[in-house]
Structure 1
């Protein structure tokens, strides 16, 4: 959309800014046979509201209403596409001949509505595309974009792109990845710090420094050929200050706090507990939901019906266009909660087997579980969000490995976190992770201790829920001693010219990096086919002697996991686990590949995780 903006003309203090640009239509198309068959098309063009727009006769399609707002540069066309409609092209005619436009109706892919979203059988691999791999040097800097490539600056653009991810697909498949979560690749035409992707300036266009809409679709196709799904990172709460909407709002209430940022007055409080707090004031609720993050990220008012509809359609459009298998929603709870209920419901009605995970950054499971589908909340709030992120477990794992063992420190923190699962309606649909793009890397948090990092990743890849791993964890990427996001989002080794180490080929990697890579690959590939890790019941035991032990139990398979924090090998009596271990059972050690008969004891190497597999269906 920003490419359509040609120039700002003279602005009067008491009138809307007058802008000159070509006609812009969003979405650019729709599909026949959709559950959501009534949509609203946003048309943006100078003084378009002063024109009469009509739909040329088309069997099965009706123009219900033309909505004009307080801004004459927008009209909203509400149409219904009935089952009688066939794929083709709608023609909209205006009283100004030059503003006629076409609107394609496309045929849906077969079984599109029944697509399978990511599940507990999957591992999502989180990538910051700008920092992963540069597959096309030609798009590092684009003349129409405000920020050019600057690889030497932490917060600058380094040149990674969608083509780089496409090139890496065989590597990711071999590693054992089954889903890709890319931080936003949509246009972020901001003057600086645009690489992270969360200041979107066009919700329907891939940033040209990342590639194109067609290339993003190609990534989805090629990923599926490797058995990998594509998860889109969506931002509903805010957008970039260089978006057309800032100077030319579709309605006067499109942006919260009248579209103005006043430091200290309308910045978000981040007090997320106000949403669930039965005693919270309306003032505090508004400060959290309506407040801006920063001046460069204006806060969207999802209570505006036309904006709400825009965001719902945008999500469904991308799922259908790019054949997505999931959505991750940034800063989930910051958006209006009634809108979030409508947004998730519309998507899940369109795609009943789809999955959406919301980011609710809290270590309090009582707050996180509020948002999961099926939760009976005290205030009557109903959510259709299938999955939430488990920040509680992430924090507990780091604490457990860094603390000495006692009655209230160490492994007991993990037990206490998982004991709160009674708050969640669907514990298998919770996303677990060791780190992500907004926090220090797990290897850094664990003091660059490889043994601890292996234990952390083994736990998170064998406990209940959906696993998510941050790119480069498999080769011990590290941001010590910095907490700067530019260091956390470090360049992936082998993805950029001039690097001495290459994770894709193994060239130049240290022995420890190779060991970690092998550990991760073993775990991820086991997850692909393990019924116990997919749907198996989690049974864990109170820590003993510095050991945390648990089992994943399904009809076909039992997986036993032992986390030994002791600095010496331990012969552990496991009679207390007999409820999940048949006597004289043979088990396969996942890491050593040795078969052993399980008796009353098991030998646990020092500072390590032991994973034993019992196939009970044989």
Structure 2
């Protein structure tokens, strides 16, 4: 399809569609980059029924093979260079791993952008789109996308697709009319439009007249409606990422900013480009039976544009029976900004990529006070809300991701700097606290990528030339891996108890002597302690806890709600990374008259969940 006019929406919307979930906070998300997840050629992984698959060519990675791609400097350079380009993941490969994800407990997939990139581009991540109505051929076909969604739905898994409104790929080139480009980069934003040398052709050269119709599907931008010259702001790349209006109108590096319209939020006038993109994404909802969108770079769009998009998408989804189609916005700039913009624009949730990942990672590693994390959910009066339960479905929480903007040029997964013994605690904190939990692909296998570029935290789970743990030609879909198995058990408990998905949340005070209670805090810049929190629901209390000490057992009195957990009541262990604790009970005592508390012991680097007895 080359234009929106080629789409028969009347026929498309006559199909039956998969219904939305009643509550997104009940789901556990899993985010993967299509190019880095699976190519379907792995040997011995387990199929949808749990049976080993024969015939694959890529063996499972063993610990002894970690580093097999970097034994010499030429080999290491080849491995590093491979990470900067497409390495071979496909939609069919992703569909083959639905069983792996289902057994982990995943109930919603967040899939990176799948749309066609410029054929000469190495934009394996998918965020530099050239054709918004076509699938990137290196990932597969539009039928492959629909097959992935159908397979996921058949196994109780929803699918959220990553979409981009703010920009297209490097589809045209600037003319150096005011000053030459810097170090081969596009000219910087200075508030004035630049001349355009031409649309880029299929080889990436600006040989086609800008503003004139283009026939080659591998050149310029598609659908054809976007080829109008006013579709792009043409103001050069962003240099100051927080300077208004530069961050709204400038290009994302070489990705060209799309002109979405003008006006204040209540009187916004959408451009033809925004109307075109909105209709294109409505097509994908109906064609592939999608359940939601993750909307990229919301901070860099006019709020009126986001509001227009959310209204039109929600209305379209409801018209085909998807009453709770979700729209999750990537909004940088801090918590208050994210939630204010979310409410103003009609987005359903914000992606917690600023404070939340930092606090989860470094709380677990003993380098943040627990209150720094839990207060992100407590101070809801600042946001015009009177209960922190509002956060339960308004934020998607995660700690590793594909960008790690917060870490600058020092990217590193949680497990990269000795965090592996504590990795389960990070997953537990993510899954068992407020918000919609999201697992970044490979976290369940302890992937430990690190380096000065995004590529190093985007390892290929299936191996190939840029495999995980600095390997090649070995895959990591290991369902016997202890971290995978323990996370599956944790997610199962999360799914069995509504309180762990929707309950109110409180960080609990602790005491060593039963007399002096206070929130756990760092001493000497380090936290080595039991950290416990309660989830309250229907006048009952569930207790979750981790031990941030990777080397030794920790114990403490843990305070509970004075009225909900009366003296002599009991909490039973529903989950523990120490199997000996499961089924054991904690008895609520009064170590001092005005407190209700339980004595809790946790082995090194362990976590546990306790619930009320029947």
2:165 paired residue number: 236
Residues 210 and 326 of structure 1: is their aligned pair in 2 closer, same or farther, counting only changes over 3 Å?
Answer: same
Q: Report matched runs for 1:151-190 at 5 Å.
A: 153-190=82-119
Residues 270 and 462 of structure 1: is their aligned pair in 2 closer, same or farther, counting only changes over 3 Å?
Answer: same
2:429 is aligned with 1:459: yes
Q: CA deviation at 1:607?
A: 3.8
Q: Deviations over 1:220-245 (max 9, x none)?
A: 00111111111100011111123797
Q: Do the aligned partners of 2:463 and 2:476 also contact (CA within 8 Å) in 1?
A: yes
Q: CA deviation at 1:315?
A: 2.0
Q: CA deviation at 1:128?
A: 1.0
Aligned partners of 1:442, 1:552: CA distance in 2, in Å?
28
Q: Report matched runs for 1:354-393 at 5 Å.
A: 354-362=325-333, 364-373=334-343, 382-390=344-352, 391-393=354-356
2:531 paired residue number: 548
2:477 paired residue number: 504
Residues 321 and 558 of structure 1: is their aligned pair in 2 closer, same or farther, counting only changes over 3 Å?
Answer: farther
SS of the counterpart of 1:171?
helix
Q: More displaced, 548-557 or 461-470?
A: 548-557
Q: Report matched runs for 1:6-405 at 5 Å.
A: 24-26=2-4, 28-32=6-10, 105-110=11-16, 115-116=20-21, 119-135=24-40, 153-242=82-171, 247-248=210-211, 250-256=227-233, 259=234, 261=236, 266-267=237-238, 269-271=240-242, 284-295=243-254, 297-303=255-261, 305-350=271-316, 351=318, 352-362=323-333, 364-373=334-343, 382-390=344-352, 391-403=354-366
Query: What is the Cα-based RMSD across aligned positions, in Å?
Result: 2.9
Aligned partners of 2:330, 2:365: CA distance in 1, in Å?
25
Q: Do the aligned partners of 1:389 and 1:432 also contact (CA within 8 Å) in 2?
A: yes
2:578 is aligned with 1:595: no
SS of the counterpart of 1:199?
coil
2:448 is aligned with 1:478: yes
Q: Do the aligned partners of 2:231 and 2:258 also contact (CA within 8 Å) in 1?
A: yes
2:397 is aligned with 1:432: yes
SS of the counterpart of 1:528?
helix
Q: Do the aligned partners of 1:121 and 1:466 also contact (CA within 8 Å) in 2?
A: yes
Residues 602 and 309 of structure 1: is their aligned pair in 2 closer, same or farther, counting only changes over 3 Å?
Answer: same
Q: CA deviation at 1:578?
A: 4.0
2:75 paired residue number: none
Q: Do the aligned partners of 2:539 and 2:564 also contact (CA within 8 Å) in 1?
A: no
2:418 paired residue among 424, 427, 448:
448
Q: CA deviation at 1:453?
A: 1.9
Q: CA deviation at 1:179?
A: 0.9
Q: CA deviation at 1:427?
A: 0.7
SS of the counterpart of 1:559?
strand
Q: More displaced, 214-223 or 572-581?
A: 572-581
Q: Do the aligned partners of 1:268 and 1:293 also contact (CA within 8 Å) in 2?
A: no
Aligned partners of 1:495, 1:150: CA distance in 2, in Å?
10
Higher strand share: 1
Q: Do the aligned partners of 2:95 and 2:148 also contact (CA within 8 Å) in 1?
A: yes
Residues 555 and 225 of structure 1: is their aligned pair in 2 closer, same or farther, counting only changes over 3 Å?
Answer: same
Aligned partners of 1:368, 1:150: CA distance in 2, in Å?
37
Residues 548 and 422 of structure 1: is their aligned pair in 2 closer, same or farther, counting only changes over 3 Å?
Answer: farther
Gaps of 5+ in 2: 43-77, 173-197, 201-209, 212-225, 262-269, 405-410, 510-518, 522-528, 590-597
Q: Do the aligned partners of 1:551 and 1:561 also contact (CA within 8 Å) in 2?
A: yes
Q: More displaced, 114-123 or 186-195?
A: 114-123
2:608 is aligned with 1:604: no
1:573 paired residue number: 557
SS of the counterpart of 1:544?
coil
TM-score (norm 2): 0.71
Instruction: Return the structure number with greater relative CO, CA threshold 8 A, min gap 6.
Output: 2
SS of the counterpart of 2:3?
strand
Q: CA deviation at 1:462?
A: 0.3
Aligned partners of 1:153, 1:523: CA distance in 2, in Å?
35
Q: CA deviation at 1:614?
A: 1.9
2:494 paired residue among 527, 538, 545:
527
TM-score (norm 1): 0.70
Q: More displaced, 550-559 or 170-179?
A: 550-559
SS of the counterpart of 1:321?
helix
SS of the counterpart of 1:285?
coil
Residues 107 and 414 of structure 1: is their aligned pair in 2 closer, same or farther, counting only changes over 3 Å?
Answer: closer
Q: CA deviation at 1:152?
A: 5.8
Q: Deviations over 1:127-162 (max 9, x none)?
A: 11111111379xxxxxxxxxxx99961201111110
Q: CA deviation at 1:465?
A: 0.8
Q: Do the aligned partners of 2:556 and 2:599 also contact (CA within 8 Å) in 1?
A: yes
Residues 313 and 150 of structure 1: is their aligned pair in 2 closer, same or farther, counting only changes over 3 Å?
Answer: farther
2:487 is aligned with 1:487: no
Residues 474 and 325 of structure 1: is their aligned pair in 2 closer, same or farther, counting only changes over 3 Å?
Answer: same
Q: Do the aligned partners of 1:586 and 1:595 also contact (CA within 8 Å) in 2?
A: no
Aligned partners of 2:156, 2:144: CA distance in 1, in Å?
18
Q: CA deviation at 1:580?
A: 4.6
Q: Do the aligned partners of 1:268 and 1:290 also contact (CA within 8 Å) in 2?
A: no
